[in-house]
A and B are shown apart, each in its own frame.
Chain A
């Protein structure tokens, strides 16, 4: 099925450990995003990419890095995990069509706990 795939689905990290979350989309979308979801705060944008080889900071980028070496993949890295990064992480991709129509597809999320 076409869509956005996130790996892993669950992870527990110790404070100070590093990890990479992988997002893969097979819809040939130009734009990709990483959000974090925390109770009572909705989803907040961490980083995004407007195309292969490009990345930009979102609303809450501190403590995260990203890379988009291939159009279909968008990686989110935590170099030194902190308990404040305990959250559910969602990846999304989007298209933009002529006339301004666009739409988003979200992955199923990665639940990360930092102890």
Chain B
């Protein structure tokens, strides 16, 4: 069964510093992987998704993620943090079962940006 583990429930970085949010997955088949962002009191917004094309995936707001099959990882990075990046981030893996694609989410990582 597919599952996702996000390492670190809280990450704090300084404005302008590198952002690195870690995600490891388990999947018996080549996965589709997603990163979502949730701003306070809002729904989930797609940052980027991996669908077995390029292993380096670029998303919105300057984020990118690299799929590493050997490490079963899909870490999210951004070279320079901005105050507006403060939010909760979710990694998810999709699985096809019983006629539908379903997302399985990690527990989330809350990102805090220090001025």
Contacts and interface: CB of A to CB of B under 8 A. Distances in A.
A101 B49 CA distance: 10
Interface stretch (B55-63, B65-73, B74-82, B99-107): B99-107
Contact of A50 (B9, B51, B100): B100
Q: How large is the interface on A (under 10, 10 to 19, 20 to 34, 35 or more residues)?
A: 20 to 34
Interface in B32-47: 32, 34, 36, 41-46
Chain B contact surface mostly: strand
Given A40-B108, A90-B43, A90-B44, A104 B103 contact: yes
A58 interface: yes
Contacts, number: 59
A98 B101 CA distance: 14
Query: By CB atoms of chain A within 10 A, which of B90, B99, B100, B106 has the most?
Result: B100
A96 B94 CA distance: 13
12 contacts: A31-B101, A35-B105, A40-B108, A42-B90, A43-B90, A45-B102, A45-B104, A56-B99, A92-B44, A102-B94, A103-B46, A104-B34
